[in-house]
Amino acid sequence: MKGDYQDLVDEISALLGAPATLENRDFRLIAFGAHDSDDDLAMDPVRTRSILTRQSTAAVRSWFEGFGIARATGPVRIPAAPDAGVFRGRICLPVRYRGIVQGYVWLLDQEPGTPGPDPAALSAAMEVAQRIGVLLAEEAKAGADLSREFQAVLTAGRGWQQDMAVAALRAALGPAGDGLHAAVCVAPWPGEAPASVPGAAAVCVVPRRGGGAGEPGDAPGTGGAGGLALAVLLRLRSTDALAPALTAVARLLPRAPEPAAAAVGAGAGPGGAGPRKRAAAGTSAGAAGQAAGAGGPTGAASARPATTGPATAASGTAGAPAGAFAADPHRMTAGVADPVRGLADLPAAWEQAVAAARAAVAEPRLGPVAQWSRIGPYRLLAGLGADPVDDPAARPLLAPAHRELARTAEVFLDCAGQAGRAAAALGIHRQTLYYRLGRVEQLTGLDLDAGEDRLLLHMALKASRLA
């Protein structure tokens, strides 16, 4: 179908005597005509970026949409705006099907004072744009029509049932089934699947799981906690072409306000020794530091860095509020699996996507769109059993009454046991940190000087966030 788009774009270019580009309604490049002009202005920064990266920025999209192109039924002339990188005016031909915009054909307008395209040629070009709209709509419908086969792959039990489901989806996709794909999980999803997702080969809705193995009969990788998840099978041109796909996925999520930036003090502190050993080493400074720890006005240790943001440079949790330990399972996030070639590994890729979406809930710094390759320890934690955090040692610390202690312990462990970094990230004095860590050891019975005990507690705290 790519060739069909290119032929139609070339036809419009010939009709209007100017190179044309075709983008879908999310401003992702589909095809473009050849540029043989010696005029440097024919390739302004906006047009160059669109062709080289195969997409436009959100700012460019917003600027062009401000001229009403999404509602227009005929050509729209857009003036040049050098400050925005648009050195030449544009003519936009909306690509519609049954009244719904499917994309846009873009052409460079003539210089001011120069006659524009002939009205008859523009009318003929709009007829070609309508043919493009039919193709785009059919492609979107084809992806929706594969929802049953795609859903069967994600919900079938392991073994021959899953093999049959994968074979059915491969047959439905045809030669495209052997291409490069990425599985995406968006959860929680409020209802039916969208009519189309740019770049998607298939879209469906599946039962959602919060974690663990689920109950008998639950869909693998989806089932037990209730609710729904949106599953998207994205086509990729190469393993390096994931960025446009991530942009398309991000547009499925509700817009959230920008989090406040967290300023973190780079407190120096020795590493390698446990909290009790460092506390003993710092006893001589304890008396002077106590006032500072309580908010005294003097001393470097008294400086409390801002901790309003959800993450800091020292730790993913250092700036989180005291109640941030309870992950919000209602916050919509998306997880993206590593690309796979062919469909044989699609079930495993879906498990990765689910794990990444859950990790984005657990650690806001990873989201709202998280890639499985970048979620760190959650790659292991998300695959554990139904109750991986129900360890008798960690259980008392995870009670609501001890959220601040749990947060202190996690920040300390995130900082590799470096008291100076942890205290700075938390905005407390070292002696206060040592006191809290002592309370953690009392509650848990763990020795934070012992590597295995640290590992157990760290993983329990991380896993407690998984929704």
Q: Which residue, 72, 386, 81, 78, is CA-closest to 224? A: 386
Percent of the chain with pLDDT over 70: 68
> pLDDT tier at 251 (50, 70, 90 boundaries)?
confident
Hunting for tokens 């024919």 — which residue is that? 42
* H-only helix segments in 363-429: 378-381, 403-414, 419-426
Q: Which residue, 97, 119, 96, 95, is CA-closest to 105? A: 95
pLDDT over threshold 80, residue 288: no
Top-confidence residue, 340 or 460: 340
Give mean pLDDT, residues 63-75.
Answer: 90
What is the structure's pLDDT at 273? 41
pLDDT over threshold 70, residue 35: no
What is the structure's pLDDT at 315? 34
Q: pLDDT for 182-200, tens place per residue?
A: 999 998 998 888 876 777 8
Cis amide bond preceding 339, omega within 30 = no
Structure tokens at 114: 């120069």
What is the structure's pLDDT at 92? 93
pLDDT over threshold 90, residue 424: yes
What is the structure's pLDDT at 209? 60
What is the structure's pLDDT at 331? 82
C-alpha span between 262 and 219 (Å, rounded)? 40
Structure tokens at 41: 């202005």
What is the structure's pLDDT at 46? 57
Q: With H, G, I as helix, E, B as strand and everything else as coil, classify residue 448.
A: coil
What is the structure's pLDDT at 129? 94
What is the structure's pLDDT at 376? 86
Q: pLDDT for 377-411, tens place per residue?
A: 888 887 665 455 567 888 888 888 998 998 898 89
Average pLDDT, the chain: 74
Give mean pLDDT, residues 37-41.
Answer: 50
DSSP3 helix / strand / coil % (the chain, rounded to 5): 45, 15, 40
The 3 state secondary structure assigned to 139-183 is HHHHHHHCHHHHHHHHHCCCCHHHHHHHHHHHHHHHHHHHCEEEE
> pLDDT tier at 347 (50, 70, 90 boundaries)?
very high
What is the structure's pLDDT at 329? 56
pLDDT over threshold 80, residue 238: no
In contact, 49 and 57? CB cutoff 8 Å: yes
At CA 206, angle to CA 202 and CA 210, rounded to 5? 130
Percent of the chain with pLDDT over 90: 24
Furthest C-alpha separation in the chain: 89
What is the structure's pLDDT at 336? 92
**In this structure, which long-range contacts are made by residues 283-288, counting pairs with CB atoms below 8 Å and at least 24 apart in sequence?**
286/431
Give mean pLDDT, residues 414-427.
Answer: 90
pLDDT over threshold 80, residue 311: no
Structure tokens at 353: 């996507």
pLDDT over threshold 70, residue 144: no
Top-confidence residue, 368 or 80: 368
pLDDT over threshold 60, residue 133: yes
Ordered domains of the chain (ranges, CATH) = 2-140 (3.30.450.40), 146-255+328-381 (no CATH), 275-304+389-463 (1.10.10)
Give mean pLDDT, residues 350-365.
Answer: 89
Give mean pLDDT, residues 119-146.
Answer: 84
Q: Which helix (H) or strand (E) holds 333?
A: strand 333-336
Top-confidence residue, 426 or 213: 426
Task: Identify the weakest region by mean pLDDT among 140-144, 249-253, 292-296, 353-357.
Answer: 292-296
* DSSP symbol at 81: B
Give mean pLDDT, residues 366-378.
Answer: 88
pLDDT over threshold 50, residue 307: no
Task: Identify the weakest region by mean pLDDT among 146-150, 324-328, 348-352, 394-398.
Answer: 324-328
